[in-house]
Amino acid sequence: MKLKNTRVVKDVAGKKINLIVEKTSTGFSAYAEKFPVYTTGRSITNLKENILEALNLYNDEMNLPEVNESQIQITLDLPQFFEYYKVINAKALSSRVGMNQSLLAQYVGGQKKPSQKQTEKIISGIRELGQELIDLQFS
């Protein structure tokens, strides 16, 4: 048991805790890849709050250090991402990242799974857009 605790402390201290998120009929569910922790939430924000609480309850029971939000990484697949962030237009995004519109539509619809290279291209475009929005000011 002590070796297991040592590995968990190293994982928590050195890496982000990856949470796999799935869409449900009432919101979202998430589970930690390397920990026996799972929870649900009505929104991604609510889910993050709940998973942080669940991880810290687990860590408290195991006498491990507390986890903070910066140590959590949420993983969504493309269909779930576009389902949650409906404000992002897949057609406009395909043009922005230089991807065939029908191909991105197939990724979004779940008919095809993007390669790692295509996934990186899409997420890079989304992050660039996010940074532009952060830097934007209105007069």
> Mean pLDDT across the stretch 24-49?
91
Q: What is the pLDDT of residue 10?
A: 44
d(CA 46, CA 26): 12
**Complete DSSP assignment for 41-88:** ESSHHHHHHHHHHHHHHHHHHTT-PPP-GGGEEEE--HHHHHHH-TTS
Q: What is the pLDDT of residue 12?
A: 52
User: Mean pLDDT in the chain?
Assistant: 87
Q: What is the pLDDT of residue 94?
A: 95
How is the chain split into domains, by residue range?
2-75, 78-135
List, for residues 111-125, the tens digit of each pLDDT value.
999 999 999 999 999
> Mean pLDDT across the stretch 31-42?
92
Helices vs strands, H then E, count in the chain: 6, 4
Q: What is the pLDDT of residue 59?
A: 92
Dihedral sign computed on CA atoms, order 92, 98, 102, 105? negative
Q: What is the pLDDT of residue 98?
A: 95
List, for residues 67-112, the tens digit of each pLDDT value.
999 998 888 888 888 888 889 999 999 999 999 999 999 999 999 9
Sheet order of strands, 27-32 included: 38-41, 27-32, 17-24, 72-75
At the topology level, CATH places domain 2-75 in: Double Stranded RNA Binding Domain (3.30.160)
> Residue 8 pLDDT more than 60?
no
